[in-house]
Amino acid sequence: MAAHARRLRRARPGRRAAEPRGERTHSCGGGAPSAIRRRVDLGPLLARGSHHARRAGDRRWRGKRGRLPAEDARRRLGGLRRRRPGDVAAAVFRAMERPQPLAALLRDCVATLVHNDLRGANLGLVPGRTVVLDWGLAGSGPPELDFAWYVFVNGWRIDAAREQLIDDFKRAEGDLHDPRALELSWIAQLCWHGPLLAHELVEASEEKRERARAELAWWVARVRAALELL
């Protein structure tokens, strides 16, 4: 990890997204996935949401960390099950109840350092570089997992279609992009944020419920297209 951090510090800021470079190294033991160290300028990707990234904090999420009480989580997930098309619901709930197969597929993808919470309050743009705060949840995994969370938590705040954000991400990754990892990440992300959508669908204002319905429809379509990988 320390070596990775040194490489990140040495990476030149402002590299064009159309010219990504990476160094592939393969680990030696335990069948662990290949590691990849990326030097990619995320500025063009994050710039679409820069108005949000510069905010001092995201009030929506303050004070809401921690586990949901078990009965509350079950109630929220039950509401989501009633609103999600059956094929996607069945697959997602299977993955939530037995995550090992999906986790194994993701583990086989090329891994790198992932932040795990690329919400707007943790992102900032300064001339020539991107600043990422709060690395308390950082770990190893496919970078597509980071991007899937970024799309969920920031997508509705950004004045661009989600498909445009996906195109930005693919351009930033260049020949390092792994379409399979991205498809698997859509599934994993819906498993993780499903309870949040369920809460919006059953307990929020009508404005939030309308947005949650549109959000759910987009994610269902993405996950349905990826189900053949399971």
All structural domains of the chain: 69-229 (3.90.1200)
Report the distance separating Cα 149 and Cα 153, nearest Å. Answer: 6
Report the distance separating Cα 203 and Cα 116, nearest Å. Answer: 27
pLDDT for the residue 39 = 43
Q: What separation in angstroms does the CA of 172 have from each of 41, 43, 157, 167, 180?
A: 7, 9, 21, 9, 17
Q: Is the dihedral of CA 194, 147, 161, 170 positive or negative?
A: negative
Which of 134, 186, 184 is closest to 165 using CA atoms?
Answer: 186
pLDDT for the residue 83 = 52
Which of 60, 88, 79 is closest to 195 using CA atoms?
Answer: 79
Tokens of 217: 């429809």
What is the chain's pLDDT, residue by residue, as a tens digit (230 residues)?
A: 444 344 333 333 333 333 333 333 323 333 333 333 344 454 455 455 444 333 333 343 344 444 444 455 455 555 555 555 678 888 988 998 999 999 999 999 999 999 999 999 999 988 989 999 999 999 999 999 999 999 999 998 899 999 999 999 999 999 999 999 999 999 999 998 888 888 888 877 899 889 988 999 999 999 999 998 87
Residue 104, number of CB atoms within 10 A of its CB: 9
Phi, psi of 21 (to 5 degrees): -130, 145
pLDDT for the residue 125 = 87
123-172 pLDDT per residue, tens: 998 898 999 999 999 999 999 999 999 999 999 889 999 999 999 999 99
**List of E strands, 26-158:** 35-39, 112-114, 123-126, 129-132, 139-141
Displacement of CA 21 from its chain's centroid (Å): 22
Q: What separation in angstroms does the CA of 221 have from each of 4, 65, 183?
A: 36, 28, 11
pLDDT for the residue 196 = 83
pLDDT for the residue 200 = 85
Q: Which amino acid is residue 24, in one-letter code?
A: R
